[in-house]
């Protein structure tokens, strides 16, 4: 337990992804113990989402929704599942293309990287949990709650994927082209700078304790990075649609509880619909 | 005597907070400040329909709710603030950042407290309920601007050390305002309409500030 929390903390602080550590292309993140943290964080956010049904009083009957507690349980189980399934679906293609472009990341390294990114994502999401509960207590509007959760999920996803791309940059090391250019820079004497212009040397050295999102310049391996960039897009799209397929998480008022609903429509259409509902167009 | 000493100390603390002079106050003392000055403004705010008899209840309720509004909003926003600070590599400064945002809230209540006599005077001048609402909104706006300057003064030091603090500051303001608006809506009534009997929370308080806002906008725009 303590070990898991320490691991999670190291990922969030960036201790686990320090540039010095990653130069060798190794990522020392224990998958099993971080996965435990993922389940806990996801379940917590699931509970926060399910709280909507618990606090909502049906205006007609004046009572709580029928199976509010079942929804709570279902959301707590389904939220971690949503992330794991999305990973499961998108991981193989990522690994294959990563190998195809000749990146030096092994399969385990890629998996470690993704698990760490999910940890960032879920930690951000879980930190929004109290706010979601607060709005569940104080609002009746179903479209508003849907959009609030979509917004929280989007923000969390952006943080997680930014972490992924930055860590990748550190892992892959310098691009051959960049390296060559750097060597040239060293060879040529730098032209004298304008006396008034701030000298480059005056800029303070990078803080020792840089965060996990900080950009480390000069490191890139173009093709592999492109693969990951495209993959983040795919992950986002699959994850969003996955959340729709695995609904209900909030529990639509007036609909009986089920674990899953019929396949129909899609995430993006429904977000538009919720927006329209809210704006009353 | 003890009371006089405590009041003197509170006043000194308030002075430090307003000047943002780098004196680091303990969180406990900042929270005490929020409670005291918040109650001052809250009680004045709730005195619109009178202070005697049954109306005294509204004064008491508002006195409790004003600091509550700030403290609960703060508590709900802190987890996200913590995680975002950590992710941007600013965890080492977190204690200082936390003190900065609490100090800004303490400053907000001190400024509100200083505006309380003005509000009381306004209440004495006019019995118009709508005007009272607008005046209170104005006082809160003034206090918010003041609190912002305190927050920025604290953050200037942090940003000078690490520029990434700029982003956590923006994140904090967005999250805090987003939660705070709804919290204020939920905790109504603060002023207490003259006809209505005093109550801690409105029976119909469950609702969403943003949806109400949209409704009003729609009415204004499309009739």
Mind listing the pLDDT tens digit for each residue in A28-52?
Answer: 788 888 999 999 999 999 999 999 9
Whether B23 has its CB under 8 Å from any CB of chain A: the answer is no
Of B88, B162, B179, the CB nearest to A213: B88
Chain B CB contacts of A135 under 8 Å are 182, 208
Can you tell me the distance from the alpha carbon of B98 to that of B27, in angstroms, rounded to the nearest whole number? 9
Q: What percentage of residues in chain A have a pLDDT greater than 90?
A: 31
pLDDT band at B126 (very low <50, low <70, confident <90, very high): confident
Q: What is the mean pLDDT of chain B?
A: 88
Of B91, B214, B218, the CB nearest to A13: B91
- Write down the pLDDT at residue B131: 85
Whether B179 has its CB under 8 Å from any CB of chain A: the answer is yes
Q: What percentage of residues in chain B have a pLDDT greater than 90?
A: 48
Report which of B101, B83, B117, B111 is spatially closest to residue B31, judged by C-alpha positions: B101
Report which of B137, B58, B153, B159 is spatially closest to residue B103, judged by C-alpha positions: B153
Whether B90 has its CB under 8 Å from any CB of chain A: the answer is yes
CB A59 within 8 A of CB A93: no
- Write down the pLDDT at residue A204: 46
* Cα diameter, chain A: 81
Q: Going by C-beta distance under 8 Å and a sequence separation of 6 or more, which residues neighbour residue A28?
A: A16, A21, A112
Does ipTM surpass 0.85 in this model?
no
How close, in Å, is residue B63 to chain A by CA atoms? 21
User: Which whole-number Å values give the CA distances from B214 to A141, A252, B183, B209, in the listed order?
Assistant: 13, 22, 17, 9
Whether B175 has its CB under 8 Å from any CB of chain A: the answer is yes
CB A267 within 8 A of CB A240: yes
Write the Ramachandran bin of B193: left for phi over 0, alpha for psi from -120 to 50, otherwise beta: beta
Output DSSP code: residue A17: G
Q: Is the pLDDT of residue A172 over 90?
A: no
Q: Give the H/E segment covering residue A130.
A: helix A129-138
Tokens of B222: 């499309």
Backbone phi and psi for residue A64, each to the nearest 5 degrees, phi listed first: -70, 155
Q: What is the pTM of this model?
A: 0.79
Identify the residue among B72, B81, B86 best suited for mutation to test binding to A, counting A beta carbons within 10 A and taking the highest. Answer: B86
Q: Is the pLDDT of residue A152 over 90?
A: yes
* Sign of the dihedral through C-alpha B88, B93, B95, B96: negative
Of B164, B205, B206, the CB nearest to A211: B164
**Residues 29 through 88 of chain B touching chain A, CB cutoff 8 Å:** 75-77, 79-80, 82-84, 86-88
Q: Going by C-beta distance under 8 Å and a sequence separation of 6 or more, which residues neighbour residue B61?
A: B46, B198, B199, B200
- Write down the pLDDT at residue A41: 96
Report which of A265, A234, A260 is spatially closest to residue A78, judged by C-alpha positions: A260
- Write down the pLDDT at residue A200: 43
């Amino acid at each position: 337990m303590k070990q898991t929390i320490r691991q999670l903390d190291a990922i969030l602080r960036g201790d686990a992804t320090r540039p010095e550590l990653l130069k060798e292309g190794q990522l020392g993140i224990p998958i099993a113990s971080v996965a435990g943290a993922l389940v806990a964080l996801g379940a917590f956010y699931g509970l926060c989402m399910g709280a909507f049904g618990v606090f909502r009083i049906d205006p007609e009957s004046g009572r709580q929704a029928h199976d509010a507690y079942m929804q709570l349980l279902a959301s707590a189980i389904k939220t971690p599942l949503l992330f794991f399934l999305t990973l499961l679906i998108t991981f193989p293609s990522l690994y294959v293309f990563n190998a195809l472009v000749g990146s030096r990341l092994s399969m385990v390294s890629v998996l470690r990287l993704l698990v760490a990114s999910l940890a960032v994502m879920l930690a951000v999401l879980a930190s929004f949990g109290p706010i979601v509960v607060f709005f569940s207590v104080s609002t009746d509007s179903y479209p508003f709650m849907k959009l609030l959760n979509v917004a929280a999920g989007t923000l969390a996803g952006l943080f997680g994927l930014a972490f992924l791309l930055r860590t990748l940059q550190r892992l892959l090391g310098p691009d051959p082209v960049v390296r060559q250019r750097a060597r040239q820079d060293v060879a040529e004497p730098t032209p004298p700078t304008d006396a008034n212009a701030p000298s480059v040397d005056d800029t303070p050295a990078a803080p020792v304790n840089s965060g996990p999102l900080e950009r480390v310049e000069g490191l890139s391996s173009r093709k592999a990075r492109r693969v990951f960039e495209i993959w983040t897009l795919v992950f986002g799209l699959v994850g969003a649609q996955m959340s729709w397929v695995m609904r209900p998480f909030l529990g639509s008022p007036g609909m009986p509880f089920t674990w899953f609903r019929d396949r129909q429509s899609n995430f993006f259409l429904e977000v538009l619909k919720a927006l329209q509902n809210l704006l009353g167009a | 005597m003890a009371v006089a000493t405590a009041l003197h100390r509170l006043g000194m603390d308030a002075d430090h907070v307003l000047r943002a002079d780098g004196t680091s106050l303990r969180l406990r003392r900042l929270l005490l400040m929020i409670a005291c000055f918040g109650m001052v403004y809250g009680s004045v705010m709730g005195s619109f329909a009178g202070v005697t008899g049954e109306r005294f209840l509204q004064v008491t309720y508002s006195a409790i709710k004003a600091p509550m509004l700030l403290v609960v909003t703060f508590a709900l926003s802190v987890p996200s603030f913590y995680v975002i600070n950590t992710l941007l590599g600013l965890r080492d400064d977190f204690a200082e950042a936390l003190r900065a945002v609490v100090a800004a809230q303490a400053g907000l209540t001190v400024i509100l407290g200083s505006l309380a006599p003005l509000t009381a005077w306004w209440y004495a001048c006019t019995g118009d309920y709508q005007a009272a609402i607008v005046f209170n909104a104005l006082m809160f706006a003034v206090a918010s601007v003041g609190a912002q300057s305190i927050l920025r003064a604290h953050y200037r030091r942090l940003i000078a050390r690490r520029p990434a603090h700029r982003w956590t500051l923006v994140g904090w303001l967005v999250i805090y305002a987003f939660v705070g608006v709804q919290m204020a809506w939920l905790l109504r009534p603060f002023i207490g309409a003259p006809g209505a009997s005093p109550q801690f929370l409105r029976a119909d308080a469950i609702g969403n500030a943003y949806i109400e806002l949209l409704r009003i906008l729609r009415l204004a725009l499309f009739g």
